[in-house]
Amino acid sequence: MILLANNKLALEIASPGVEYAGSRFDWTGYIMQVSFGGRHLFCTKNSLVDKLGREGEGICNEFGIDMPVGYEGIPSGEHFPKIGIGLLRKKGNERYSFEEQYDIQPCNFKQEEFESSAVFFAKQEKSNGYAYNYKKGIYLHSSGFEINYALVNTGDRSLITNEYAHNFLSFNKTVVNEHYHLEFFPDNFNVDPEEIVNPENILNIKNNRCSFQKSFNEIIFFSSKNNSNQCIGWELKHHEKDILISENVSFSPSRVNLWCDSHVISPELYIALNIQPGEEMVWRRTYNFKA
């Protein structure tokens, strides 16, 4: 595990394939926990059930949750690339499922550690015409950090997929309730869900703001398209404890999602990727914390 720390923030980052070795989330720069001032925790796990606890946690990202590169058209038993992990082996002729655990042939990983940053490299050799070089750098600032991404298509076929950060957040491991408030910015961005799961109408959405009537025990979810060219961001605040986290991005998200369980809240900003052979795409996520 890698630890980056200054006088305010501490980041616990998994080494590729060590603390997390699943077939869903990117193995590079997998941030397991963020603490502020030595007393505030910002991250939790996807599930509190022990056997499921490593499905995801902290601030981790995923490529191709619903757009798997090279999956369609290959027979059962063949391999397809999952960016940031390696080659996954297709099971049967079923549709790809992010909940499935696939057999993995890891790509080649390298990491470099510095006083206030960690840089990860993943190289995928050519398979069925797909290959890439991927670099992710995490750079610690006074009260936040940046994640910089660079993906180069070194294969013969286009990399057409998406990427998002699945932010598994919880303020000091408290349940999600009426004290949690989520706001998207700029102010003229309105959440307009194409798909929503909202039992008992616990989630309130008004323009760019989301709040909860009370705690809950069922999954809450929405997916909203971004029909503008704006760089959407979000800020999550706990009004009772007066602590907050925000995310800004360098791109215009293709869609904005929110996924919640009783103990975790996850705002998600998606980037659409279409990288032709020989081309590179770069993007950035910036997180800030306050208490």
pLDDT tens digits, 147-178 = 999 999 999 999 999 999 999 999 999 999 99
Mean pLDDT of 258-270: 96
pLDDT tens digits, 34-51 = 999 888 999 999 887 765
pLDDT tens digits, 208-228 = 999 999 999 999 999 998 888
Range of the domain at 66: 2-290
Structure tokens belonging to residue 52: 């499921």
Is the model's pLDDT at 184 over the cut of 50? yes
**Which sign, positive or negative, has the C-alpha torsion 60, 65, 71, 76?**
positive
Where do we find the tokens 């990117």? 26
Mean model confidence pLDDT for the chain: 94
CATH of the domain at 9: 2.70.98.10
191: closest CA among 287, 284, 269, 289? 269
State the pLDDT at residue 52. 52
Structural domain count of the chain: 1
Confidence of residue 53 (pLDDT cuts 50, 70, 90): very low
Mean pLDDT of 284-288: 98
The whole-angstrom separation of Cα 221 and Cα 190 is 16
State the pLDDT at residue 226. 87
24: closest CA among 78, 94, 102? 102
